[in-house]
Every structure is written in C-alpha cells, then in structure tokens.
C-alpha cells in the first residue's frame, strides 16, 4: 500500500501494462520521494524500461499498449489531467544510447528553451553554462560550443543529453541504462552529476548494474518478471532484503 504524503513527488498505484496479450507489468504500486534517486534493478524482461516508457507516456502511439491503474505527479493524474508535451517537459528521459541532435553543442541545449519561447541570447547563454556545469561538461567544451555535438565522445554525448534535459527545467529525470555503453571514467562523471542533481531534481535510474544502484541510489526497487518484489532503502536492499529473490539477485545467483 502506497503512503501518499507531501514528500511523494510521483505515485504509482495498481499499475498494469500490456502490449497486446503480453503482460509486462503487474499490480505495481510505489511512490518516489522528492529529491531522491530511486534505483530500479532487475534482470532482463522485468518490465523496467516499460515502466519508464509508461511514466513518460512514450507508449501513447503504440496501438498494442494498454494500461490500468494510476500514475500521479504532485497529485495530478498524468494520463487524465496532463497533455503529453506538458508531462514530458516536467519529466525528462535519458536513454541508454546518447541521442544528440545533429547540431552544435550550443544549439543542442538551446533547442528546448527556444521551443518553449526563450530567445534572448543572454538568457540562453546562462542556460548553456548552467546546464553544462551541472552535467560536468562545461570545462571540457566551453571553448568549442560551436562544434558539432556528434564529434564528442560517447561519455560527453551522454552528459550533453543530461544538460539538454536540464535546459527545459524538468521536475523528474528518468534514466534508462544511461551508462551501459560508457567507460568507467565517463560513468563516474555521470554518477557524480546525478548525485549533485538531487539538490534540485527527483531522479529514477533504471540500471542492470547493481553496483551502480548501490553507489548512487537513495532507495532501490527490485523488479522481476513484471512484478515489484520489494522497495526499500538501498543499504537494506543490498544487505538485508526482505525477499529471498532479491537476495539471490543482488548476490549474483541469477540475472
């Protein structure tokens, strides 16, 4: 049973998701607290990415998609009370593979604010610097903002995508395996950025890397074959979980 309090930013209640006849999420209920990093772990085909796609309404145009239950953001039903574009401004998503636009570094970040009406050059410059600093990329690119973003390394591209998401001032950031293709140094920089971003944002991190969840998440949820097995403080999940299946997964017995 979800305890919906003033600290809860996002609340999922009795969520069921299907693609055609295939059930991918079953009776999912949990809450995400303001300014926390919630890690979501579990083996392949546990429904983790389907959950993020449901939260961000990326399934809206999939004819096979159906759902029941509710998802509320600050008490407002995201399917009944919000337009998709409104929701996606409030809830940005970072994918496993970096997806920079075929534009310069500067224009990648300016794209969103311009779309929402910000045209003042001084204001845009401030957004560019602020978001690049927040994503630990400013010092590496400040002298080459006109360079095509596609020429950045994979790790830099991923941090650019974080900066681009921050530029439209979301309230929640979703990550779908953001470091799966990155080297350890780039991964550490992304994780450092995530940790500092908790001062301003609520974050949900889907990862197959249990060590990453243990490093950065305040709480962790374990999913298995479409079921939320348990959710608790990260230290408890990795040391004294309540469910044997969680113990087996985090100790490497399967997955």
pLDDT for res 45: 92
Could you tell me if 54 and 88 are in contact, meaning their C-beta atoms sit under 8 angstroms apart?
no
Separation of alpha carbons 156 and 145, rounded Å: 13
Nearest to 210 by CA among 230, 233, 188, 238: 238
pLDDT for res 4: 43
Separation of alpha carbons 42 and 48, rounded Å: 8
pLDDT for res 253: 86
State the first-to-last Cα distance of the chain, in angstroms, to the nearest integer.
27
pLDDT for res 1: 38
Compute mean pLDDT per 10 residues along the chain, 255 residues long, and list them.
63 98 97 97 95 96 95 96 93 92 97 92 97 95 97 95 94 95 91 93 96 97 97 97 96 83
Contacts 24+ apart (CB under 8 A), 141-148: 141/105, 144/105, 145/104, 145/105, 145/106, 146/104, 146/105, 146/106, 147/104, 147/105, 148/102, 148/103, 148/104, 148/105
HSE at residue 190, side-chain half, CA atoms within 13 A, is: 30
Record the tokens describing residue 52, joined without a space: 């993020």
Record the tokens describing residue 80, joined without a space: 């009944």
Could you tell me which residues are beta bridge partners of residue 44? Answer: none
**Domains of the chain and CATH, by start:** 8-250 (3.40.50.300)
pLDDT for res 3: 43
pLDDT for res 2: 42
Q: What b/e sequence results for 68-82 when a residue is b if at least 16 CB atoms lie within 10 Å of its CB, and e otherwise?
A: ebebbbeeeebeeeb
Nearest to 53 by CA among 83, 9, 27, 91: 91
H/E run at residue 29 = strand 22-33
């Amino acid at each position: 049973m979800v305890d919906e309090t003033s600290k809860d930013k996002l609340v999922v209640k009795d969520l069921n998701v299907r693609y055609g006849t295939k059930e991918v999420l079953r009776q999912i209920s949990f809450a995400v607290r303001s300014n926390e990093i919630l890690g979501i772990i579990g083996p392949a085909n546990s429904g983790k990415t389907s959950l993020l796609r449901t939260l961000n309404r990326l399934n809206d145009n999939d004819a096979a998609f159906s759902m029941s239950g509710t998802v509320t953001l600050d008490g407002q039903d995201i399917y009944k009370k919000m337009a998709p574009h409104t929701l996606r401004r409030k809830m940005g998503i970072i994918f496993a593979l970096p997806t920079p636009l075929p534009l310069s570094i500067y224009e990648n970040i300016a794209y969103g604010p311009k779309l929402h009406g910000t045209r003042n050059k001084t204001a845009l410059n401030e957004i560019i610097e602020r978001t690049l600093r927040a994503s630990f990329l400013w010092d590496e690119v400040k002298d080459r903002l006109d360079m095509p973003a596609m020429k950045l390394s994979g790790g830099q591209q991923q941090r650019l995508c974080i900066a681009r998401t921050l530029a439209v001032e979301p309230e929640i950031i979703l990550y779908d395996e953001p470091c799966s293709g990155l080297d350890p140094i780039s991964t550490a920089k992304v994780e450092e950025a995530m940790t500092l971003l908790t001062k301003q944002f609520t974050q949900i991190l889907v990862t197959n890397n249990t060590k990453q969840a243990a490093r950065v998440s305040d709480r962790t949820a374990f999913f298995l074959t479409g079921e939320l097995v348990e959710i608790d403080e990260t230290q408890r999940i990795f040391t004294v979980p309540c469910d044997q299946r969680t113990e087996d997964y985090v100790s490497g017995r399967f997955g």
